[in-house]
C-alpha cells in the first residue's frame, strides 16, 4: 500500500465536484453488484508498520468525510477498500499508551526522591523497584513504577479514583496489597512521597477497616490488628450518613492542615489509593 496522507480542506474544495461524485457513484454501484456475489470472508489485518497503520486510519476518515460531504442524507456506509481497524487492536494501543503515560508521569513527577531503578521498565534492563505486569490478556508488557521506603515498596495510584473494595481488588490483581502503616516513620515517609507528587491535599485509601467488628480496626493486607495509630482529632467517629452508610474504611487525609493523618470514611467513597509490595 502506498503512503497516504489527508488532503487539506482547501484542496478538497477545489477538487472537481463532478469527478468526486463519479468516484462515489461508481463505488456504490460496485457495492450493489458485489451483494449478488458470494460473500468473501473478512480480510484480516496483517502486521504493518506504524506508517501503514496511520495511513489506513486516515483513508477510512477521508472516505467517511467524502460520504458526509457529498451525500449528507445517505447514512449507508461506503464499502471499505481497506481492512477495518478492530476494536481489540484499538484497545491494545490505548492500553499501551496508558502504560506509557504512567511511566512518563512517574519519571517526571517526583521532584526530590524518584523511584530508584537499574533500567527502563519493560526494556532491556532490570528495574529493581518495578513490578512486571503482564497479567492482562491484551496488554503489552510494562512495569509499574514503585517507590521504595524502608523495607516496603509503594505504588501510588494517582491516575483514577476507586472505592475501597475496587482499590483492594486492583492492588491484588497486580500482585500487591492495599497499604498498611506500622509506625510513625512509615506514615511520615509515605506522606512525603505523596507530597512529592503535589497531592498532599488528596485522600488515599489504606487497607485498614473495622467491618468485622465495629470499632476494632485491623489491616486487611496482613490480617493483623492495628497497634500504631495516627488518627485525626475526634476520629474514628463512625459518622452515619443520611443513606444509612457508616464509616468503616481507613484513609490518609490532611484534614486540618497538620499533616496526613487517619480518618474513617464510607468504603464506597471513591479516591486515590496506595498499594504496597
Query: Tens of pLDDT along 3-24?
Result: 545 555 454 455 455 555 555 5
Highest mean pLDDT among 65-74, 146-155, 240-249: 240-249
Residue 181 maps to which CATH number?
3.10.100.10
- The residue segments making up the domain with residue 59 are 9-35+44-85
Residue 69 falls inside a structural domain: yes
Whether 62 and 172 share a structural domain: no
Please write the tens of the pLDDT for every residue from 227-269: 999 999 999 999 999 999 999 999 999 998 889 999 999 999 9
Whether 152 and 246 share a structural domain: yes
Whether 65 and 183 share a structural domain: no
Whether 74 and 154 share a structural domain: no
Instruction: List the grid coordinates of 109.
Output: 513527577
- Rounded to whole angstroms, how far apart are CA atoms 89 and 93? 6
Q: What sign results for the dihedral spanned by CA atoms 90, 52, 74, 42?
A: negative
Residue 194 falls inside a structural domain: yes
Whether 64 and 150 share a structural domain: no
Whether 79 and 168 share a structural domain: no
Residue 237 falls inside a structural domain: yes
The answer to whether 212 touches 218, Cβ cutoff 8 Å, is: yes
Is the bond preceding 236 in cis, omega lying within 30 degrees of 0? Answer: yes
Residue 92 falls inside a structural domain: no
User: Distances from the Cα of 231 to the Cαs of 228, 256, 257, 258, 262, in angstroms?
Assistant: 10, 12, 14, 11, 4
Whether 170 and 256 share a structural domain: yes
Residue 182 falls inside a structural domain: yes
Helix (H) or strand (E) holding 131: strand 130-133
Q: How many folded domains does the chain comprise? A: 2
Please write the tens of the pLDDT for every residue from 77-100: 544 443 444 445 444 443 443 344
Amino acid at each position: 500500500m502506498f503512503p497516504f496522507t489527508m488532503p487539506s480542506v482547501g484542496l478538497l474544495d477545489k477538487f472537481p465536484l463532478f469527478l468526486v461524485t463519479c468516484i462515489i457513484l461508481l463505488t456504490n454501484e460496485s457495492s450493489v453488484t458485489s451483494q449478488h456475489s458470494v460473500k468473501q470472508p473478512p480480510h484480516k489485518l496483517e502486521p504493518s508498520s506504524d506508517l501503514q497503520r496511520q495511513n489506513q486510519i486516515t483513508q477510512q476518515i477521508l472516505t467517511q468525510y467524502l460520504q458526509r460531504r457529498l451525500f449528507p442524507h445517505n447514512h449507508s456506509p461506503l464499502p471499505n477498500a481497506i481492512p477495518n481497524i478492530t476494536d481489540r487492536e484499538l484497545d491494545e494501543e490505548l492500553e499501551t499508551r496508558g502504560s506509557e503515560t504512567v511511566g512518563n508521569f512517574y519519571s517526571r513527577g517526583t521532584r526530590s526522591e524518584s523511584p530508584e531503578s537499574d533500567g527502563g521498565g519493560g526494556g532491556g534492563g532490570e528495574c529493581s523497584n518495578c513490578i512486571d505486569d503482564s497479567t492482562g490478556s491484551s496488554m503489552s508488557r510494562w512495569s509499574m513504577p514503585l517507590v521504595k521506603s524502608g523495607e516496603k515498596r509503594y505504588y501510588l495510584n494517582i491516575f483514577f479514583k476507586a472505592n475501597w473494595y475496587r482499590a483492594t481488588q486492583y492492588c491484588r490483581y497486580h500482585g500487591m496489597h492495599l497499604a498498611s502503616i506500622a509506625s510513625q516513620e512509615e506514615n511520615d515517609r509515605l506522606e512525603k512521597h505523596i507530597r512529592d507528587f503535589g497531592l498532599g491535599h488528596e485522600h488515599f485509601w489504606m487497607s485498614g477497616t473495622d467491618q468485622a467488628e465495629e470499632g476494632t480496626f485491623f489491616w486487611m493486607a496482613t490480617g493483623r490488628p492495628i497497634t500504631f495509630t495516627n488518627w485525626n482529632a475526634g476520629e474514628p467517629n463512625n459518622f452515619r450518613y443520611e443513606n444509612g452508610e457508616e464509616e468503616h474504611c481507613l484513609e490518609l487525609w490532611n484534614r486540618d492542615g497538620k499533616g496526613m493523618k487517619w480518618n474513617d470514611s464510607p468504603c464506597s467513597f471513591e479516591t486515590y489509593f496506595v498499594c504496597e509490595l
